[in-house]
Amino acid sequence: MRRPILLQLALVVLVAFTASPLVAQDWAKATLEKSPRHREYVAIKHGDRTVQAFVVYPEVSQKAPVVLMIHEIFGLSDWAKEMADEIAAEGYIVVAPDLLYGYGPNGGGTDAYPGQDAVTKAVSGLDPTVVTADLDAAADYGKKLPSANGKLFVAGFCWGGGNSFNFATHRRDLAAAFVFYGPPPSDDALKNITAPVYGFYAGNDARISATVPTTTVAMKAAGKKYEPVIYDGAGHGFMRAGEDPATNAANKTARTEGFKRLIALLKQESTASAQPPAPPAAPQRPQMAAIGVPVVGMPFVHDPSTVIRFHGKYFVFSTGRGAPFYSSPDLVTWTREGSVFTQIPDAVHALVPKNNGTDVWAPDIIRMNNQFYLYYAVSSWGSFQSAIGLATNPVLDPKDPAYKWTDRGVVVTSNGNEDLNAIDPGVTLAPDGTLWICYGSYHGSIRITQLDPKTGLAIAPNTLGAPVATARESEATDIIFHGGYYYLFVNHGSCCKGKDSTYNIRVGRARTITGPYMDHDGKPMSEGGGTLFLASDAQRIGPGHFGRVLDYDAKPTDTIAPPGGTERFSIHYEADMKRDGRSVLDIRPLSWSADGWPIAGDHPAVTTNAAGTTADHLCDSM
C-alpha cells in the first residue's frame, strides 16, 4: 500500500553538461578555484554499489534547498563542478554525482578515463536502471543533510537533460524539474510526473528542439505543467559553451538568460508552499457483507494475507478496520467472520499516533508452535512513521471455544527518518527452521529481518534488516522457497487508484534468504530489477500482494499442496472491471518453468458449488 509523505528536506537535482579530461576547461577550473564555498567529495553507498558525488554548500544562515547535479555525456568535468558552485552561490546545496564512478580504470570515475571519446562511450553505455538508482541515492543523501530545508528539484543538460525529464517521471517528491536541451521520455511515462517541468532549448539544435511541440501537446494531454523556452541562434550545450571565452554571442546570451531564468524559477518554487505529492486516495471502505452471512464469490479485499486452510476452512485476512477476515469451506462461498481487533493494541498505536486506532494494513499469517502468528502493519496516510505488530491465536474460527487473539507486541518500526517504511509484512519460515519477515513500501529499501521462531519477534529489534530490493517504486513483498532458491515477489507500480493503478508483480531469486536477489536477466532487485510474474489484463487491473496458499490440514510435509494437488497462490486486483472496478481476492495455480522460474496460471472460470449451481469465482464480492 502506497504511503507517500511530505518531505522534510529540499533537494534540487541538476544534470550538468561536462567535458573530458582532454578538453581544456581552464576557465572553468580557474573560476572554481576562486570560490570561497565549502566543497567536498562524498561516497554514497546503495545496495552493492558506491557512487561518488561532488557537494557544494552555500554560505547562508538558514537551511537551504539542495541541488543534485547529474552530469552530461562528458562526465563530471571542471565545468560541471564550476556550475555546481555557481548555483550554490545563489543559496542552494549542490550534490553532483559522478555517474561513471566505479566504472573507470582502477575503479575510478570521469577523471580516470584517458580522453573525451572514452568518457562519451562510457556514459552512453550506462545502464538506465543503475543511473536512476544512483540518482535516488544521491537525492536521499541530500535530503538527509542537516542543512537541507525541504525542497526537491531536478534539472539536467543534454544527456543529463533527458535523464532529468525521466527522473521527473520516477521521483514523486520533486518541486520542479529543469530540462536543458534533453529529449523527453515516452508519452506514456509523462502521466507519472507530479512536478512542473521547465525546458531550456537551443534554436540551432533541431535534433532536440524539434521534439518540443509534440512534447507540449503530450504534456497538456496528460494534465502536466510544461513551459519550454527556445533560445534563438544558440547551439546545443549553450550553458557550457556560453562560458567559453571563444564562444559566439548567441551562446553567451542564451547562457546568461538561461541561468537567470533557472535561478528565478528555483527561487519561485523554493518559496512556494511546500505541497507533498498527492497521496493516493485512501481506499473507500467497501459495503461489506454482514458478519456470518455466506456469499458466493471471492470476497472484496485489499492487501490479502497468505490464504491458509485449517480445520476444514480457508481463511484470509486483509486491510481494513481492525483487520477484517473471511472464511470459506471451498474457495467459492465466503463468510465474513469479523475483525481481529476492535482497537489496535496500545503499545503499537503509541508508535503511530496519527492512526485512528483501528486501521490495520496488509496483514500476513503463519502457523508455528500450535499458534497462528498474525503480523499486521499500522501507519497513517502520508507518513513513514509506521510499525508492524504481532498477535497470536491457537485457532481461527470465532465459534471455537479456544478462539482468542493475544497481543505479542511490536516487531519492527520506522520513525520516518530511516531508509524504509515498516509496512506490508511478509513472513517466511525457511527450510532450516529460521523465521524471517520482509517489509517496506515506496521509501528506501525493502528489508528482511530475522525473527525468533519461539516468540515471533525480531531477534535484533533495534537494527535495520538487510536490504533486499529497492522500495522506491515497490512494496508488498513475500518470499517463498522452491528448488534450492528463495524467490522474492514484489509489487512495482502504483496502487489504490482503481482502474488507473499500475500494480504488477515482479520476482527475483537468491540462494540465501538475505540475497542478493537477481531477476532472470541477472539484474539485482536492489537496483530495480525484477522479472515480470503477473500484470494487468483487460478486465483485471493491478494484481498485487502475492501469497502462497498453505494447507495446514494436510500432512506437515505437504502444507503447500496436498499429494496430487495443485500449488496455488493468492493476490488481489486493484480493480476488476467485471465487478464495477472493485478490489477483489483471487486464487490461481502456481507452476514452474524448466529453469526454475514461477509461472502464474489462470483460475478455473466456473466451479460447481454445494447447491449444484455454478458460480464465477470472480463474479460476486462481499
b (16+ CB within 10 A) / e for 379-395? bbbbbbbbbbbbbbbeb
Which H or E element spans position 583? strand 582-592
Distance set, CA 215 to CA 128, 165, 188, 204, 206 (Å): 21, 11, 11, 18, 14
Q: Cell digits for 236?
A: 546545443
CB 194 within 8 A of CB 278: yes
Residue of 303, 364, 551, 586 marked active site? 303
Which of 600, 472, 461 is closest to 47 using CA atoms? 472
Decide if 156 contacts 166 (C-beta within 8 A).
no
Angle at the Cα of 58 from the Cα atoms of 56 and 60, rounded to 5 degrees: 155
For residue 303, indicate whether it is catalytic.
yes
Any alpha helices (H) in 38-110, and if so which ranges? 78-88
Q: Which of 171, 167, 172 is nearest to 184 (CA)?
A: 167
In the sheet that holds 313-317, the strands lie side by side as 294-296, 333-339, 324-328, 313-317, 308-310, 550-551
* Main-chain phi, psi angles of 151, to 5 degrees: -120, 145
- To the query of whether residue 475 is one of the catalytic residues in this protein, the response is yes
The active-site residue out of 205, 419, 424, 475 is 475
- Separation of alpha carbons 263 and 272, rounded Å: 14
Dig out the grid coordinates for 206 from the structure: 533541431
CB 77 within 8 A of CB 19: yes
Whose grid coordinates read 478455473?
604
Radius of gyration of the chain (CA): 27
- Look up cell 533557472; give the residue: 262
Positions marked active-site? 303, 475
